[in-house]
Amino acid sequence: MRRLALMLVLGSVTLAACQPPQVNPVAIRRYAAARFVRDTAQYGAITVFSLPVPGAEADGVLDLSPQAQAEFVRAVAATPTAKSPGTIAAGLASPIQPETSPPGTRNLARVSRRVVFSIENRSMNPADRLHTARIIVRLNPDSAVFTGWDRIATRHNKVDVGTLTFTQERDVGGELGLTIPVVSATPKVTSSAGSSLVENVTLSQRLVELNGALTPSEAVLLQQSTAGLDLTGNVLADFVVQMRRPHPEWFYSFTHDGDGCGQPRLRGEYNWITTDTRPVPATVVLDYVLRRVDGGAATITESDDTVTFVSAAQPIQAELIPTSALVVHSWLVRADRTLEGVLNLRSNVGGMDLERAKPVQFASYEDAERMVIWLKRCNGQIPGFEATIRGRRPDAQRLYIDRVEANTDPVDR
């Protein structure tokens, strides 16, 4: 019996020694160890290009509620022009345009541009990622200033990255066979001790915190990522930029009814345009923090990484607004290429700046064309207006239309 008791004691001690240690969770750690340095190495890079802001598309029938759609279909089918299924279908496909009168004053020295920033991670280690990216855009306030922005966006919104599962498991088993001479049975002592820890981290959150600040001379866009996400990709922002020292120009539209020589309609529009059409440059700085993995890069999880957070900056020069976005075109009616060969108008009608005879810039080619057709049909006369070239009634058969840049003196060309 003493032998049996001794063996039972020894078995208990052995099993106690084989108990698994306490398993500590690791999934919630950001890294195993970290240090922070400022470096001049270029792990991050940025390129910039700009383009016009796409216009908002007009609403169509499918943008209406179901009840409004049904009413719209009935209204289109009841119109006099709806004579066939084809014309009805064309009417339903047309955009719904609200009736708006053209503005009396336009600021053509205020330019909206969509700027696309492309951020690149140039590290050779696939485990390294850009953790923070601050984009700074600086203008020369003597030439242009920021007045607002309409949109900031990235490709990251809300994405479910999935579930990271970390499992640690240990099983300990002991088997002790005892033979007792006085007992016909052979006792068998079996012990199994185990522990299992499963850690689940669901990364369903806003991946990139994107915010910004704007002053007249500087725009700042800041991105901050979460675990496992590299900030490589595109960021776009719609900026509104006001050019310095704009100057006013009058543009005119000309319309008339029918084919006679009755009272036409001449309307003046006051425009602010810039006289400096050189491209608008900007200094763009990518100020970033790279999470460089020095150890533990062989695993997918980041919790066992030994990392260095490297902060650095890369400045570049970019063209924010090209010349083509600043040039404003107008149309003149001419008899020849000289300064005196431009059509002048004078009228006592207020609100059009025509109290004295002056060269007339038309807002579109169609406006200038309608004026030429009118002068040819009505012998160079316009009721309520005095049309002259070199102080005399124009020879309408010699008139032609000239497209010019209104930013410079358009008449003296």
Do 257 and 362 fall into the same domain? Answer: yes
Do 391 and 336 fall into the same domain? Answer: yes
The tokens for 143 are: 């030439």
Do 268 and 344 fall into the same domain? Answer: yes
Q: Beta strands 188-206 and 209-214: pairing type?
A: unpaired
Do 260 and 393 fall into the same domain? Answer: yes
Residue 27 has what pLDDT?
55
Do 266 and 349 fall into the same domain? Answer: yes
Last residue of a domain, one of 96, 125, 145: 96
Residue 175 in any domain: the answer is yes
Look-up of token digits 């030439």:
143
Do 16 and 79 fall into the same domain? Answer: no
Residue 407 has what pLDDT?
86
Share of the chain above pLDDT 90, in %: 35
pLDDT in tens, 107-158: 999 999 999 899 999 999 989 999 999 999 999 999 999 998 876 666 553 3
Average pLDDT on 6-35 reads 59
Do 329 and 395 fall into the same domain? Answer: yes
Residue 259 has what pLDDT?
77
Do 382 and 257 fall into the same domain? Answer: yes
Do 26 and 89 fall into the same domain? Answer: no
Average pLDDT on 45-65 reads 72
The tokens for 67 are: 């009840």
Per-residue CA distances from 309 to 125, 292, 312 (Å): 14, 6, 10
Please say if the pLDDT value at position 90 is more than 80. no
* Residue 102 DSSP label: P
Residue 84 in any domain: the answer is yes
Please say if the pLDDT value at position 288 is more than 70. yes
What CA–CA distance (Å, rounded) separates 239 from 241? 6
Residue 43 in any domain: the answer is no
Residue spans of beta strands (DSSP E) within 6-125: 33-38, 44-52, 105-107, 110-121
Residue 200 in any domain: the answer is yes
Last residue of a domain, one of 45, 73, 96: 96
Do 24 and 65 fall into the same domain? Answer: no
Would you give the end-to-end CA distance of the chain in angstroms?
Answer: 123
Residue 192 in any domain: the answer is yes
Residue 250: count other Cβ atoms within 10 Å of its Cβ: 17
Length of the chain: 413
The structure's pTM equals 0.67
Share of the chain above pLDDT 70, in %: 66
What CA–CA distance (Å, rounded) separates 248 from 95? 34
Residue 299 in any domain: the answer is no
pLDDT, mean over the chain: 76
Residue 358 in any domain: the answer is yes
**DSSP state letters, 246-280:** -EEEEEEEEE--SSS-S--EEEEEEEEE-S--S-E
Residue 169 has what pLDDT?
38
Q: Please tell me the least confidently modeled range out of 197-211, 242-256, 336-350.
A: 197-211
Backbone angles phi, psi at 393, to 5 degrees: -60, 135
Average pLDDT on 383-400 reads 90
What CA–CA distance (Å, rounded) separates 117 from 318? 10
Dihedral angle computed from the Cα positions of residues 99, 105, 107 and 108, in that order, rounded to the nearest 10 degrees: 80
Number of domains in the chain: 3
Do 190 and 83 fall into the same domain? Answer: no
Please say if the pLDDT value at position 360 is more than 70. yes
Please say if the pLDDT value at position 104 is more than 80. no
Do 261 and 338 fall into the same domain? Answer: yes
Per-residue CA distances from 296 to 112, 293, 302, 306 (Å): 47, 7, 8, 6
Please say if the pLDDT value at position 262 is more than 90. no
Average pLDDT on 69-79 reads 68
Look-up of token digits 């007249």:
216
Last residue of a domain, one of 204, 228, 262: 204
Element (H, E) at 7: helix 2-17
In degrees, rounded to 5, the angle at the alpha carbon of residue 316 between the alpha carbons of residues 225 and 240 is 75
Residue 115 in any domain: the answer is no
Look-up of token digits 């030429």:
372
Please say if the pLDDT value at position 39 is more than 90. no
Average pLDDT on 62-75 reads 65
Domain that holds residue 169: 2-30+164-204
